[in-house]
């Protein structure tokens, strides 16, 4: 790879609230530390299909930016509220997410090039770090793929008294395939049909 740049040229939007300038206080000054506390409005796409952070919802960053030999280490907590749709009853609900974040932003052409894959390491670009991708990943990993409004959610209400949602605790009700009903009646078994 002689003569080639290992990393494609990239830029960061200096005006973005997610971007932090590290040139003056942290760049190549191992041991230096800077606290970062701010609320950033959530952009679009900060969630999964059934749960996520609403656009504009504040995401609270309480981070410590620390200069290390390989770059700048961001660590701390991220907090925000999320809105979801219960996967059982389909009702809307809100929840609070509190996640830990630890992300190394490496200097261009640092030793991390030899020890990690290109897409595994965040980079310092134009003496700035962009926190959004790391925060987004941390929040998305915390969100459930099948969210519930509560752990014991009974599911969708139904006027049918035989609906699964209204089966009393400890009682099993099973509808037997009519093709097997004759065998069930003859030999019995644990899964008796409740149909008359």
The region of weakest confidence among 63-77, 95-109, 167-181 is 167-181
**Predicted structure pTM score:** 0.71
| pLDDT at 174 (0 to 100) | 61
| pLDDT at 119 (0 to 100) | 66
Higher-pLDDT residue of 116 and 82 is 82
Pairing between β-strand 71-85 and β-strand 92-106 as defined by DSSP bridges? antiparallel
| pLDDT at 65 (0 to 100) | 94
Mean of the per-residue pLDDT values of the chain: 81
Where residue 138 falls (left for φ over 0; alpha for ψ -120 to 50; beta otherwise) is alpha
For residues 126-134, average pLDDT: 92
Asked whether residue 188 carries a pLDDT value surpassing 60, the answer given is yes
| pLDDT at 138 (0 to 100) | 95
Rg of the chain on CA atoms, in Å: 26
CA angle 53, 84, 87 (to 5 degrees): 150
Sign of CA dihedral 144, 146, 147, 153: negative
| pLDDT at 166 (0 to 100) | 52
Which tens digit of pLDDT belongs to each residue from 76-88?
999 999 999 999 8
List residues bridging with 144 in a β-sheet.
none
């Amino acid at each position: 790879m002689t003569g080639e740049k290992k990393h494609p040229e990239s830029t960061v939007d200096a005006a973005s609230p997610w971007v932090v300038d590290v040139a003056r206080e942290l760049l190549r000054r191992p041991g230096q530390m800077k606290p970062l506390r701010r609320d950033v409005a959530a952009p679009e796409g900060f969630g999964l299909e059934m749960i996520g952070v609403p656009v504009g919802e504040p995401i609270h960053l309480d981070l410590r930016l620390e200069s290390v030999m390989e770059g700048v280490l961001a660590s701390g907590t991220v907090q925000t509220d999320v809105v979801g749709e219960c996967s059982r009853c389909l009702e809307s609900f809100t929840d609070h997410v509190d996640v830990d974040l630890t992300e190394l932003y490496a200097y261009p052409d640092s030793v991390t090039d030899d020890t990690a894959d290109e897409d595994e390491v965040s980079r310092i670009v134009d003496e700035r770090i962009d926190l959004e991708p790391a925060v987004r990943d941390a929040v998305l990993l915390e969100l459930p793929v099948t969210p519930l409004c509560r752990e014991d959610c009974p599911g969708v209400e139904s006027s049918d008294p035989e609906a699964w949602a209204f089966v009393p605790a400890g009682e099993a009700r099973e509808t037997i395939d009519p093709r097997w009903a004759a065998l069930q009646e003859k030999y019995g078994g644990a899964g008796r049909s409740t149909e008359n």
